[in-house]
Amino acid sequence: MVEILSIRGLAKRFGGVTATDALDLDVREGEVHAVIGPNGAGKSTLIHQVSGSLHPDAGTIVFEGRDITRMPMHRRVAAGIARSFQVTSIFARLTVLDNLALAVQARSGTSFRFRRPAIEDAQLFDEARVLAARMALASRLERPAGELSHGEQRRLEAALALATGARLLLLDEPMAGMDLEESASLIERLRELRTQATLLLVEHDMEAVFQLADRISVLVHGRVVATGTPEQIRANEAVRRAYLGDEAAA
């Protein structure tokens, strides 16, 4: 399988703290690749470096065969990388439809303006409606985004990332703060997204990880200590001792 993302020797330090340490990681096109590990293992710092919000002190990041290590964040979005954050980031006062239409508009490089041809607006909002339906938000189109439930807001955020036309979606703890019903709904939607984009997922919810992931990488002290299928990770004694504990036997 073709690798869409290849990371070699990635290092990031904050004073005396090493967040990622000679980290190597390969993500295959079309897979859901989960990154797990204890708090402070460097998971979110890894996502920040892939997205471009942080630049590494050493190492390389190659996306679709192109070295993007020093590429600014906005150019990575244009190249096909989008991310969601641990804290939901939406336009709370705008409707779901307007949030999505703005994201589609940003990708197209055009702008909202008076006397815009009606056909352009129609196409923009049609695409926004399709994105909403994919994330089970079709019934919420006219609702201000700030009035959505927490789970609905996270689904909207995933739709906003998808609206950029991304081929690689970076998801940083998308299940955070969700109840069981909300998590189950998002898991179902993320399964569907894999037909449109590769997913690199950082998540503490082990049930969600083992349901979603094709492969899992385990970070400890800023390094990948194991990569494999969910079954291989469950069976890895070193991983069980270092992180999974009794969850692996569930």
128/141 Cα distance (integer angstroms): 9
Reading the block at residue 174, the tokens are: 């998308």
CB 98 within 8 A of CB 91: yes
Number of structural domains in the chain: 1
Burial class (CB in 10 A: 0-12, 13-18, 19+), 211: middle
Reading the block at residue 27, the tokens are: 């993500």
Q: Which domain holds residue 120?
A: 3-249
Task: Return per-residue pLDDT of the chain as tens, 250 residues.
Answer: 799 999 999 999 999 999 999 999 999 999 999 999 988 999 999 999 999 999 999 999 999 999 999 999 989 988 999 987 645 678 999 999 999 998 888 776 555 454 444 445 788 899 999 999 989 999 999 999 999 998 899 889 888 888 888 899 999 888 888 888 888 888 988 888 888 899 999 998 888 999 999 999 999 999 999 999 999 999 998 787 766 654 443 3
Q: What is the C-alpha radius of gyration for the chain, rounded to an integer number of angstroms?
A: 19
Q: What are the Cα distances from residue 153, in Å, to 77, 83, 157, 183, 249?
A: 21, 15, 6, 12, 33
* pLDDT of amino acid 69: 97
Say which residues have a Cβ less than 8 Å from residue 59's Cβ, sequence separation at least 6. Answer: 7, 8, 9, 10, 11, 20, 22, 23, 69
